[in-house]
Amino acid sequence: MEKIGVYVCHCGTNIAGMVDVQEVAEWAASRLKVRGVVIGREYKFMCSSLGQELIEKDIKELGLTRVVVAACSPHLHENTFRTACKRAGLNPYLCELVSIREQVSWVHTDKDVATAKAMAVVSGGVERVIHQVPLEPMKVSIHPDTLVVGGGIAGIQAALEIADAGYKVYLVEREPSIGGHMAQFDKTFPTLDCAACILTPKMVQAGTHPNIELLTWSEVEKVDGYVGNFTATIRKRARYVKTDLCTGCGICWEKCPKKVVDDVFEAGMGTRKAVYTPFAQAVPRYPVIDRPNCTYFLKGTCKACEKFCPTAAIDFTQEDELITVEVGNIILAIGYDTFDAHRIAQYGYGRLPNVITSIEFERLCNASGPTNGEILLKDGKTKPKAVGIVHCVGSRDKNYNEYCSAICCMQGLKFAHLVHERTGAEVYNFYIDMRTAFKGYEEFYQRVLEEGTHFIRGKVAEVNNAARNKDEEGKLIVQVEDTLVGVQMRIPLDMVILSVALEPRHDAKETAKRFGLSCSADGWFIEKHPKLDPVATMTEGIYIAGCVQGPKDIPATVVQGAAAAARALGKIHAKEIALEPFRASVTEAQCSGCRICNDLCPFNAILFHEDKMVSEINAALCQGCGTCVAACPAGAISGTGFSNEQVLAQIEGLLLLNVDKNAVPV
């Protein structure tokens, strides 16, 4: 018979507050003695080094052959206790962690019932571990190349970190240039560094780095494989420009007769040509031809770009190209979209010309923007005398997005400063709460207060143009309650800037699915642990960085980009990784050759030997889902770690069929 040790964790009062841990430990030691339990202990924090030593000591002194720890979720500490067992010479897979915190103490309210449930859960764990067999982790090699998806500041940072460490990176970006949202900004808070000045060098570095292969105007279409061994299929959209010949001289877009409103980079505030690079400092510097807007593609004639190109780089016959790359790790940094302000009709966006979004304002005050950085009204000549900045547009609102977009308060302060500095206008910030956490932010708030910006605490109810008196005529009227005085105010303004929410990319859900990840209800990608593992995901070898995980500012985005790179580099350096050895295998003698399992495997891990008329599972391809195990009519397939014996025994255990009713509690 096995010698089993049962350890019940208090987790401070997290468990002990709702479960009588002492009773559970004593109950296991007495009632489950017939099943081999030789010791039942409880301890304040089993995961502490003292708690682990307790297990190690018992393994050595009592000769335990199995260990059950009743504590938190296995997703948190399974590895901790397995490692402890290993140190004491016990095969780590002979340790079972059952959750009595997430699944018992935190979700139930009656101590009696919770304690009874904890006993059942322990009993199930005991039965399951009895049928566990010693296993050795599987080792797989890690391909040293990395795929970074998204060429904003997060992706650039991650790519540079890895490339600088000496490893190859494929940096995929769907727009013609890397740079992302940051490239659209004028200044960055709280230091007011010029965004282009700090971003452009990084873009150039990424564009020229020998270890970085830039794949702009491209998208990842398909991902196969697993940690260390992913295969990604990337669509390189036709640029209609031969990149090996193009020098980026700019003659083509100078000569192109077709003007197009630029909805992406200029946020609809400016125009570009049908052949274009989104902005002057674009990396790479060669342009793309925007096929749906190109006169040649629409009407069959024009080719002005081709005629004038000094290096004959234009090629209208190009087609999309599919390439596959082998990588060991993937970093997703796909960023965010902004909230569509039309959805809040009462703010008048789209109806009232001088109501603009924050991204539009970024372009308006950007020196390389449509007005060369002059803050002007829609007429293109008048400087505003009074400007309102509306916070929380589409954020902190259950009708739209419940979350706080994190950057708007600081962005509002930045805008206030810029408007003040460049126009001398009166500036109003309409806010619900000012949130200026992090370094230098509160100081910036103080500075803007000193500059004389008005702060009105109240969520703007509406913006309209229905004047009620002379002062209001021809103005935008912001109607808002100044909640600090409790009075409804009507404030006539010339320009209203809506701080629109950051939202997940419109296609975030499809992207998540393509990479086998999941999104929260909001659409942000879910990290492995919100505090302790914010850049890893549930899928080993795939990391997330920047706003794909949730709204954040540039410093936090850069931190995540670097962190994700560090995680990937760790894997690359280790050269191989140990995987859970949970794999299915066929017992040849029992296999009847019915081939039912063959079609079930989505990873093509099952092959059929025609000569022997039996199926065989390729352990390297098997992912361990166990579907074939459940389907085999002959019971010839077994799955390690989750064998039929284990699950059936656990059911008995959970239903307390194994309990010795005559045992006396100790």
Partner 1 sequence: MNNNDTFEPVIIGFTCNWCSYRAADLAGTSRTKYAPNVRLIRLMCSGRLDPTFVFKALANGADGVMITGCHPGECHYIEQNYKALRRFHLMRRTLQGLGVEPGRVKLVWASAAEGAKFAREVTSFVEEVRALGPLNWGAGENGPVTAYHSTRQEALA
Partner 2 sequence: MSETYTFTFMKEVSSLLHAADGNPFPMCVQCGTCSGTCPVAAYMDYTPRQIIAMVNAGLKEQVMESNTFWYCASCYHCTVRCPQNISITELMYALQRYSIWKNKHQEGLIGPAFAEAFAKTIVRTGRTFEPILAPSYIFSFKLREFFNEIQNATELMLKGRLPLLPPRIKRLENFKRMVRRIIPMGGVE
Partner 3 sequence: MKEYAYFPGCSLEKLAVSYHTSTLETSKKLGVKLKELDDWNCCGSTAYFHIDELLAYTLTARNLAIAEKTGLDVVAPCSACFKNMFFTAVHMKKDPDLAEHINFALEEDDLNFSGNIRIRHVLEMFAQDIGAEEIKSKVTHPLEGIKVAPYYGCQILRPRKDHEETENPHYFEELLSAIGANPIEYSLKTRCCGGSLIISSRIAALSMVRNLLECAINQGADVIATACPMCQVNLECYQQSVNQEFGTQLSIPILYFTQLLGLALGVPKKKLGIGKELVSASPVLAAL
- The residue ranges that bind partner 3 (CB under 8 A) are 344-346, 348, 351, 464-468
In the complex, minimum distance from the CB of residue 470 to partner 2, in angstroms, rounded to a whole number? 19
| Comparison of 465 and 627: residue with beta carbon closer to partner 3 | 465
* Residue with smaller CB distance to partner 1, 397 or 540: 540
Coil, strand or helix at 147? strand
Terminal CA-CA length for the chain = 21
Question: Max CA-CA distance within the chain?
Answer: 97
Task: Check binding of 618 to partner 1 (CB under 8 A).
Answer: no
Which residue's CB is nearer to partner 1, number 14 or number 184? 14
Q: Which does 101 bind (CB under 5 to 8 A by kind): partner 2, partner 3, partner 1, none?
A: partner 1
CA–CA dist 209, 156 (Å, integer):
11
74 binds, among partner 3, partner 2, partner 1, none (CB under 5 to 8 A by kind): partner 1
**Neighbouring residues of 219: CB distance < 8 A, sequence distance ≥ 6:** 172, 174, 234, 235, 237
In this chain, which stretch among 210-218, 374-382, 493-501, 640-648 interacts with partner 1, using CB under 8 A? Answer: 640-648
40: contact with partner 1 by CB under 8 A: no
- Segment (H or E) for 307: helix 304-308
Q: Which residues bind partner 2 (CB under 8 A)?
A: 346, 392, 396-399, 432, 457-462, 479-483, 486-489
Give the 3-state DSSP-derived string for 317-386, with helices as H, strands as E and coil as C: CCCCEEEEEEECEEEECCCEEECCHHHCHHHCCCCCCCEEEHHHHHHHCCCCCCCCCCCCCCCCCCCCCE
Question: Which residue number, 347 or 543, has a Cβ lying nearer to partner 3?
Answer: 347
Among 538, 574, 594, 613, binds partner 1 (CB under 8 A): 538
Partner in contact with 460, chosen from partner 2, partner 3, partner 1, none, beta carbon below 5 to 8 Å by kind: partner 2
Residue 164 binds which entry of partner 1, partner 2, partner 3, none, CB below 5-8 Å type-dependent? none
Q: Which is nearer to partner 2, 120 or 461 (CB)?
A: 461
DSSP for 479-546 reads EEEETTTTEEEEEEESEEEEEEPEEE-TTHHHHHHHTT--B-TTSPBPPSBTTTBTTB-SSTTEEE-G
**What minimum distance in Å lies between the beta carbon of 464 and partner 3?**
4
The candidate with the shortest Cα–Cα distance to 41, out of 68, 18, 19, 65, is 68
Bridge-based pairing of strands 270-273 and 275-276 is unpaired
* Coil, helix or strand at residue 252: helix
Among 240, 349, 455, 642, binds partner 1 (CB under 8 A): 642
Kindly give the interhelix angle for 153-164 and 195-208, rounded to the nearest 10 degrees: 40
Among 138, 251, 526, 619, binds partner 1 (CB under 8 A): 526
Least separation in angstroms between CB 14 and partner 1: 10
Q: What pairs with residue 169 in β-bridges?
A: 146, 212
- Quick one: tokens of 613? 């008329």
Residue closer to partner 1 (CB basis): 370 or 626: 626
With CB under 8 A as the contact rule, the residue among 29, 55, 220, 629 that binds partner 1 is: 629
Query: Between 210 and 486, whose beta carbon lies closer to partner 3?
Result: 486
Least distance (Å) from partner 1 to the CB of residue 238? Answer: 30
The answer to whether residues 148 and 107 touch, using CB atoms and an 8 Å cutoff, is no
| Residues with Cβ within 8 Å of residue 417, at least 6 apart in sequence | 192, 447, 448, 451, 453
CB atoms inside a 10 Å sphere around CB 398 = 6
Q: Which of 351, 513, 575, 595 binds partner 1 (CB under 8 A)?
A: 513
Closest CA to 658 of 128, 239, 263, 259: 128
Shortest Cβ distance from residue 70 to partner 2 (Å)?
Answer: 37
* Nearest-approach distance from CB 25 to partner 1, in angstroms: 13
Burial of 23 (0-12, 13-18, 19+ CB in 10 A): middle
**Residue 262 tokens, joined:** 């630029």
Question: Is 532 a binder of partner 1 (CB under 8 A)?
Answer: no
| Sequence-ordered list of residues with C-beta below 8 angstroms from that of 381, at least 6 positions apart, any chain | none
What is the DSSP track for 556-574? HHHHHHHHHHHHHHHHHHH
**Number of residues in contact with partner 1 under rule CB under 8 A:** 62
351 interacts with, out of partner 2, partner 1, partner 3, none, CB within 5 to 8 A per kind: partner 3
| Partner that binds at residue 565, options partner 3, partner 2, partner 1, none, CB closer than 5 to 8 Å by kind | none
Query: Which partner, partner 1, partner 2, partner 3, none, binds residue 516 by CB below 5 to 8 Å per kind?
Result: partner 1
Residue 666 interacts with partner 1 (CB under 8 A): yes or no: no
Q: Rule CB under 8 A: which residues touch partner 1?
A: 20, 23, 27, 73-75, 99, 101-104, 106-110, 112-117, 119-121, 124, 513, 516, 518-521, 526, 538-539, 582, 600, 602-603, 623-627, 629-631, 639, 641-642, 644, 647-648, 650-652, 654-657, 659, 665
